[in-house]
Amino acid sequence: MKLLIALSVLVAAVSAGTQPLVEVMPYQDLEGRITNGEVASDAQFPYQAALRLGMEGGYAFCGGSILSDEWILTAAHCTDVAHNVTVTVGVTKLSGENEKFEQKIFVTSKNIIVHEGWNPSTLTNDIALIRLSAKIQFNEHTEPAVLPKNNDGDYVGDLVWASGWGKDSDSATAVSPVLRYIEVPVLKPQTCSTYYLGVITEKMICISTKGHKSTCNGDSGGPLVLKQDDQNILIGATSFGIALGCEKGWPGVFTRVPAYLDWIHAKTGLK
Ligand SMILES: *[C@@H]1O[C@H](CO)[C@@H](O)[C@H](O)[C@H]1NC(C)=O
């Protein structure tokens, strides 16, 4: 699905002066997906939500993470101009047919909280919350992710999981009908900054996309999770990449969820 919000940042690529400008865009604006990922099995990512966003001129697709039976965390660039959103949980296939564990909840924009500091030109504070109008029922297919306890960890080198229905290759033209995932290491912020000069802040977290494994546009807002002691710890929300394509090996960039614990607590009461 083509994006309607035209958000972009021009960033001069590092070194040599002669390198071309690289266009950095939120994934929703790209022709993107989890590229070269694996297909998720049922109930493998029970905290994953699918968002269908109604906006001027049509619909956009994004991912989200279940925080509790009434809160979904996603990206600001998914929701800032949405009029309404249909949240689907408990599925891995977007077949359109009702699946056994599928739960769908419709909310209007008054239930969407976009971060007050969201800045589409710098892509900072790309985080939003959706308050559900009906409670999610939890079961083995639907479960919340856990918020990190604090913002002390840098997660560098940790293997983490990103999942989404974004397109599954640079040549795909629509979102993937099946949920896909990648397991990749967290990159050093300094390394990430050499790709996105002047763009990466301490409130972002980057993953290595070597081997053409990456997140891409329909994945926007979706989870980045550290699996530890049987817990799914939510450390990121898919934010942006580069417009050149998602299989180019540039790091995928996420909103660093632990940097927003106070904000999430203030809005939701969740810890
Ligand atoms: C959701 O928003 C879209 C875009 O404004 C609109 O066309 C659609 O009718 C809305 N859906 C409902 C159920 O109100």
Binding site membership of 83 for ligand 1 (Cβ less than 6 Å) = yes
Mutation probe of ligand 1 site: the residue of 61, 80, 84, 104 with most atoms within 8 A of C-beta: 84
Q: Show the tokens assigned to 71.
A: 């809160």
Residue 38 lies in a domain: no
Lowest-confidence pick of 6-10, 59-63, 97-101: 6-10
**Predicted pLDDT at 177:** 84
Q: Do both 188 and 254 map to the same domain?
A: yes
Q: Show the tokens assigned to 44.
A: 């493998």
Note whether 255 and 122 are within 8 A (CB): no
Q: Do both 130 and 237 map to the same domain?
A: no
Q: Do both 264 and 244 map to the same domain?
A: no
78-124 pLDDT tens trace: 999 999 999 999 999 887 666 789 999 999 999 999 999 999 989 99
**Between 145 and 13, the higher pLDDT residue:** 145
Q: Do both 103 and 132 map to the same domain?
A: yes
Note whether 241 and 123 are within 8 A (CB): no
User: How many structural domains comprise the chain?
Assistant: 2
66-77 pLDDT tens trace: 999 999 999 999
Q: Do both 221 and 93 map to the same domain?
A: no
Global confidence as pTM: 0.87
Domain extent at residue 230: 159-259
Catalytic: 220? yes
